[in-house]
A = this chain, B = another copy of it.
Amino acid sequence: MANTGEFALIADYFASWAPHSDAEQGVALGIGDDAALLDIAPGQQLVAATDTLVAGVHFPHDYSPAAIATRSVGVNLSDLAAMGATPRWVTLALTLPSELACDRWLAPFSAGLRQALSAHNVALVGGDTSRGPLTISLTVMGEVTAGSALCRHTAQPGDRIFVSGSLGDGAAALALIEQRWQAPEPLASYLRQRYDAPQPALELGAALAAVANSAIDLSDGLLADLGHLCRASGVSATIDSRRLPLASGLQHERQTVDWALRGGDDYRLCFTVPAALHNAVPAGCTDIGQIDTVEGEPTITVIDLDGQRDRLALQQLRGGYDHFAD
């Protein structure tokens, strides 16, 4: 389960169920990773993930219908990218107020949804529409060769930590949208595009199956998500702020590094690679640190721009990122 802010602990209510022997048959990986892995046929696993976007929480109330659709698809497919899986089908649970149940809203929303899904050869196969506050929930189903999925709980001490693409784009874009910050062109357009249409790293995820020990989708922010990975794997980590990749046009300074470390909505992959496979990592990914053995309690050590080390207990990082707030 993905969780933000005060909701970080809710998953515990569902994850802590004692396994029910008959019901759990075929569940290779349940609650707690980017997606579930389900045994459907010899050598093949079904991969399933659900994401919900709520108006006023995950996007501004006046956000365009097409952008809502595009963003929902990007967020949802990113979970499958982090598993190294191929998305095939989605179902849509669309809740919308009566005033949006009209052609003016539905035509651009459905067109945007179609375009975003078609770009990744994914079919909309069903769903449900209800009256209520605007909420979009997508469930994606996909496939992966049994045993080849990238998980959170399999990072090893000594692994190098990589991220795909630039970090902090989601938080910078939100600062732009909320007019708390300004950026020149073409940076502003780039950030806005990254926010409206996050591109799931599906090809990269598939390529990493043979290279990475573990992977996670960056939705809550690097520290929070790397924290999830470390907790699941029983490891600590060290990352260097000076190595965090930023969007072209941004310098490493207090604000941008904070966005990269703590901002959400980046939808990049964070993955760990054994040192021997370091050179096999695809281009465009950046080495930002290393997985460590746990000494005392599990921690993430952040080396700041001055080279100072700040050791953060994982427990402090559970909150994650509270998206666009009311």
Interface residues of A (CB under 8 A from B): 1-7, 10-11, 13-14, 17, 20, 22-27, 30-31, 33, 35-36, 38, 40-41, 44, 46, 48-58, 88-89, 91-95, 98, 101, 106-107, 109-110, 113-114, 117-118, 121-133, 135, 137, 139, 141, 143
Asked if A123 and B24 sit within 8 Å, CB to CB, the answer is yes
Copies in the complex: 2
Query: When the two chains form the complex, which single residue of B94, B101, B126 contacts A31, counting CB atoms closer than 8 Å?
Result: B126
Question: Which residues does chain B contribute within 8 Å of A25, judged by CB atoms?
Answer: 121, 123
Asked if A125 and B36 sit within 8 Å, CB to CB, the answer is yes
Say yes or no: A95-B54 contact (C-beta < 8 A), given A123-B27, A126-B30.
yes
User: How far is B24's CA from A122's CA once the two chains are assembled, in angstroms?
Assistant: 7
Can you report 27 residue pairs joining A to B where beta carbons are below 8 Å apart?
A: A2-B128, A6-B98, A10-B94, A10-B129, A13-B106, A13-B110, A17-B114, A17-B124, A23-B117, A23-B123, A24-B123, A25-B123, A27-B123, A31-B126, A31-B127, A33-B126, A48-B141, A49-B91, A49-B126, A50-B92, A50-B127, A52-B95, A54-B133, A57-B130, A93-B93, A128-B137, A133-B133
Asked if B141 and A57 sit within 8 Å, CB to CB, the answer is no
Q: Which of A38, A51, A139 has the most CB of B within 10 A?
A: A139
10 further interface pairs, Cβ-Cβ under 8 Å (given A2-B129, A49-B91, A53-B130): A5-B131, A7-B130, A11-B129, A13-B107, A23-B117, A33-B126, A40-B40, A46-B141, A48-B125, A93-B93
Asked if A132 and B57 sit within 8 Å, CB to CB, the answer is yes
Q: How far is the CB of A171 from chain B (nearest CB, A)?
A: 18
Question: Which residues does chain B contribute within 8 Å of A51, judged by CB atoms?
Answer: 93, 128
User: How far is B125's CA from A33's CA once the two chains are assembled, in angstroms?
Assistant: 10
Q: How far is the CB of A116 from chain B (nearest CB, A)?
A: 11
Question: Which residues does chain B contribute within 8 Å of A23, judged by CB atoms?
Answer: 117-118, 121-123
Q: How far is the CB of A83 from chain B (nearest CB, A)?
A: 11
